[in-house]
Amino acid sequence: MDLEEMKQAWAALDARVDALESCDRLARSRARLGWTSAGDVVQLAGTIALTAWVAGFWIHHRTDPHVLVAGLALHIYGIAAACLLTARLVLVAHAYYTDPVLVLQHRLAVLRRFRIRASLALGLPWWVLWVPCTMIAASALWGLDLYAASPRWVWGSLAVGLVGLVGSVWIARRLGGRPISTPWLARMVDDLAGRSVIRAGREVDEVVAFRRD
């Protein structure tokens, strides 16, 4: 074997090693998506169970207007949360079963954006929803009508929560679409998107960059 043939053999070997490394990275990214999907399934099951229980609660207390309103608020939130979690599972499934790398890269980017928005949609209402949740817990556990006992506390807590909700929405809109340079804020956004999704996206980006090179 002359020098030129040896170079070609080494190049072919390097190509095979790089291809195996790319496949390994893609396999790891899909494994991360599997863990993300499993977490969403557990969360969806818990949401459905809680929503069903809340439905029975407000139906039983439908003659108490304030308890009824509190139960309906949590019930509506539970239905919306179940819809968002189902949509997240569908997007994860679309990404998981995608073969072309560029399509996978695009779907992971879509999944990341959707998970950030869905996490905000699921989390921000709790500025206010913790009040009806506390009312329902007090009634279910101790038979205490929290609104009748302390209406000022209920209305004051709702007012403070509403201010926090409006402020959080304003901050989210201000930051939306802008590059984030602050490390702690970038970590917060990654947490909203899901660490597994972020890592899967980075691994696929590395594979795409390698194949372009």
Q: Is the pTM of this model over 0.85?
A: no
Written as one letter, the residue type at 99 is D
Intra-chain end-to-end CA distance of the chain, in Å:
29
Q: Are 91 and 111 in contact (CB under 8 A)?
A: yes
pLDDT of res. 132: 95
Percent of the chain exceeding pLDDT 70 equals 64
Tell me the average pLDDT of the chain: 77
For the segment 197-213, the average pLDDT, to the nearest whole number, is 56
Which has more pLDDT, 167 or 185?
167
DSSP secondary structure of 46-115: HHHHHHHHHHHHHHHTTTSHHHHHHHHHHHHHHHHHHHHHHHHHHHHHHHHT--SHHHHHHHHHHHHHHH
- Please tell me the least confidently modeled range out of 46-50, 82-86, 179-183: 179-183
Which has more pLDDT, 102 or 210?
102
Flag whether pLDDT at 83 surpasses 90: yes
pLDDT tens digits, one per residue of 105-114: 777 778 888 8
Q: How many domains does the chain have?
A: 1
Residues 6+ apart with CB under 8 A from 25: 203, 204, 206, 207
pLDDT of res. 177: 58
pLDDT tens digits, one per residue of 46-70: 999 999 999 999 999 888 888 899 9
For 153, the token pair is: 């506390």
CA distance linking residue 193 with residue 114, whole number of Å: 8
Which residue in this structure is represented by tokens 């003659």?
63
Sign of CA dihedral 42, 45, 47, 49: negative
pLDDT of res. 162: 95
What is the domain range of residue 108? Answer: 3-212
Q: Are 101 and 208 in contact (CB under 8 A)?
A: yes
User: Cα-flanking dihedrals φ and ψ of residue 59, to 5°?
Assistant: -65, -40
pLDDT of res. 17: 40
CA distance linking residue 198 with residue 180, whole number of Å: 15
Helix, strand or coil, per DSSP, at residue 145: coil
- Please tell me the least confidently modeled range out of 29-43, 66-80, 129-143, 190-204: 190-204
